[in-house]
Structures are given as C-alpha cells and as structure tokens.
C-alpha cells in the first residue's frame, strides 16, 4: 500500500506540472522561423550614399596660377574695403565724441590787459570758475618777494606763481571749501574769504585761516603784448 501510494503521488505531481513553457518556446521558434523566411532587406547592392559625387562641372577651367591670382585679388580688395569702413566708423565716432563749438569756445578766454589799470583787480569767468587778474604795482611785487617762504603753510616763491611779475592770474576759489574770496581785503592786503576766515597775501598764498593751499594758478600765456589767453 505504501509503494502504491508513493507511485500515485508521483503521477499526480507529474500531471499537475504545466506544459506552457514548452509551448511558448515552440511558438517563439516558430515565429522567428516564419519571420526569417519572409524578411527582405532594403539595402541591396550599391547605395547612392556610398558613391563619391563628381564635382567636375564646378571646377575652374583656368590654370592654378590664375586661380591664385584671382583669390589674392579678392582677399586684398575685401581687406581694403574693410579697412576703409573701419576708418570711416572710427572717424565718425571721434567726431561725435569731440567737444562742440560752444564748449571749445569756453575752453579758452582772451583778455585785453590794456584795459586793466595798475593796482586793480578784474574778475572774469572761465569754465564756470572766477578768475582773478591783478595788475600789481612795484610795491606789491616787492612785498610778495620779501616774504619768508619757509614760514608759509604752502611754501611757494612769488616767481613760481607768475610769468610776468606785474600780472597775477589765479583761480578765484578758496582752497578750503570752494568759496570766492574778496579782493583787496584781509590782514595781508590780498584776498579774504569771509566764509571761514582764510587770508591770502598779494601773491595769492595762504597766510592765515583754515585753507590748506594757495590759490590755484590756471594755464595761461601771453601770445603778444597786452594780450592774455587763459586755457
């Protein structure tokens, strides 16, 4: 009974196992075989893409030397045109960036010195700043030269501040806070700034008060006798 029972169990287990994998394998093989039999490749023989194109009809009929000469001529011509265009562009840019006529007119101021008597001050406007022009006397020149330069806050000889001893030209702006000093005033007979009490002598040098530097000397020249050009 025991051996019969074992044999029965073995038969039942064998019958219970599914046979699907074998069927599937058989079906796949059959499909592949059928596809291989019916497949047709489209790439048969020599294709168009594998051929080297012929550019013979586009080639120049001239000689190699002629072709080089033409190429050099074209390169040189294009280079010349590019350089001319760049030059024109830069020139136009510089013209647009340059100062206008009214600005150039303000850059320099011409003064007739014959209209300024000796011992008098004249104030003119240059680039938006007041300019002091002093026609000094002989005594004022001597007084400016006898000052001990070493004792000054901003040491400077009178000869270093003038081109002609009788003419003193300065920017009329106090070096402390930018006020405009008053002429022929102060403790030293020169200029006095009432804002904070800075005193300048007859050479425009700071002698007393909070100003740290002497009055500025602008760029000027005497192009001819009796003429002054500032700027």
> What confidence tens digit (pLDDT) does each residue in 123-168 have?
999 988 999 999 999 999 999 999 999 999 999 999 999 999 999 9
Q: Which residues are catalytic?
A: 196
The two three-digit tokens of residue 220, written as one number: 């000027």
Residue recorded with tokens 């893409």 = 49
Query: pTM of the prediction?
Result: 0.56
Q: Let me know how many helices (H) and strands (E) the chain has, helices first.
A: 5, 10
> What confidence tens digit (pLDDT) does each residue in 40-58 have?
656 565 566 667 778 778 8
In the predicted model, what is the mean pLDDT of the chain? 82
Quickly state the pLDDT bin for 24 (edges 50, 70, 90).
very low
Domain 109-230 is in which class?
mainly beta
Cβ proximity of 157 and 205 under 8 Å: no
> What confidence tens digit (pLDDT) does each residue in 164-210 have?
999 999 999 999 999 999 999 989 989 999 999 999 999 999 999 99
Cβ neighbours of 145 (radius 10 Å): 13
Cβ neighbours of 184 (radius 10 Å): 13
* Of residues 49 and 109, more confidently modeled: 109
Alpha carbon of residue 67 to chain centroid = 44
Domain range annotation of the chain: 69-98, 109-230
């Amino acid at each position: 009974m025991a051996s019969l029972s074992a044999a029965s169990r073995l038969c039942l287990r064998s019958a219970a196992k599914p046979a699907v994998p074998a069927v599937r394998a058989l079906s796949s093989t059959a499909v592949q075989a059928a596809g291989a039999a019916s497949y047709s490749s489209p790439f048969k023989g020599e294709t168009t893409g594998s051929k080297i194109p012929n550019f013979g009809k586009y080639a120049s009929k001239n000689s190699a030397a002629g072709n080089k000469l033409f190429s050099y001529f074209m390169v040189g011509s294009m280079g010349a045109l590019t350089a001319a265009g760049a030059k024109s562009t830069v020139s136009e840019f510089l013209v647009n960036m340059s100062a206008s006529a009214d600005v150039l007119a303000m850059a320099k101021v011409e003064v007739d010195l014959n209209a300024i008597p000796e011992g008098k001050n004249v104030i003119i406007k240059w680039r938006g700043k007041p300019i002091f022009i002093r026609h000094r006397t002989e005594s004022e020149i001597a007084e400016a030269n006898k000052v001990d330069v070493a004792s000054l806050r901003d040491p400077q000889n009178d000869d270093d501040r003038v081109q002609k001893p009788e003419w003193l030209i300065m920017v009329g702006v106090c070096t402390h806070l930018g006020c405009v000093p008053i002429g022929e005033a102060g403790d030293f007979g020169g200029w006095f700034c009432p804002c904070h009490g800075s005193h300048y002598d007859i050479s425009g040098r700071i002698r007393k008060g909070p100003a740290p530097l002497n009055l500025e000397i602008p760029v000027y020249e005497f192009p001819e006798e009796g003429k002054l050009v500032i700027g």
